[in-house]
Amino acid sequence: MNPPPEITPLELYSQLQENPNLLILDIREPYEWTRAFLQHPAVLALPMSELAAHGVDALPPQMRELQQPLVILCHHGERSRVVAAWLLAQGWQQVYNLRGGIDAYARQVDGSVGIY
């Protein structure tokens, strides 16, 4: 699989202000959500373990459109890179990995998100 395109934390912050269609898929596990979470209506949480078990059927309905712009995030951007590449291979066309994950977002954009 080819590596997916990436978006920086600052670019994501800007896109959240400018692009009402953008959705963010947080693939971290539930225990991680209690430590840090990006509170925004665009964020939907779905553990990577659920994706692994159920494939694209696990995706929320609003994320099943192949043209839907999606940003995938995890803790440091490694798991999300794998999921973003997988979604691109499945036919999604606008999927981006959050470079550095939620950790980088918290450090560069909004510390209230939480750091762990």
Active site residue ranges: 74
- Following DSSP, what letter does each residue of the chain receive, concatenated? -PPPPEE-HHHHHHHHHH-TT-EEEE-S-HHHHTT-----TTEEE--HHHHHHHGGGGS-GGG--TT--EEEE-SSSHHHHHHHHHHHHTT-SSEEEETTHHHHHHHHT-GGG---
